[in-house]
Amino acid sequence: MWDMNDVINLEYKGDYTFYIEFDNGKAGDVDFTDYTTKGPIFAPLKNKDFFKQASIEGGTISWKNGADIAPETLYEKIQ
């Protein structure tokens, strides 16, 4: 269960996958392939060079065009 945890580590793994680590130690790979078709804000993520430029901002990951993913969503995607 997500408890207001923040992303503290982000590593590009290949294709549309990042390794994500939260401040409580939960960590794993998250595939973002589905996000590349979720509307105009995520369209630039189809370009892998752009996709790889994700950074940690406000406890979650974001891209320079303003796209971000809610941290609780990321948390749930880690098995």
- CA-only gyration radius of the chain, Å: 12
What's the total number of domains in the chain? 1
Residue 38: inside a domain: yes
Residue 31: inside a domain: yes
Residue 73: inside a domain: yes
What CATH number has the domain bearing residue 14? 3.30.2020.10
48-66 tens-digit pLDDT: 999 999 999 999 999 999 9
Residue 17: inside a domain: yes
Residue 2: inside a domain: no
* pLDDT < 70 positions in the chain: 1-2, 79
Residue 67: inside a domain: yes
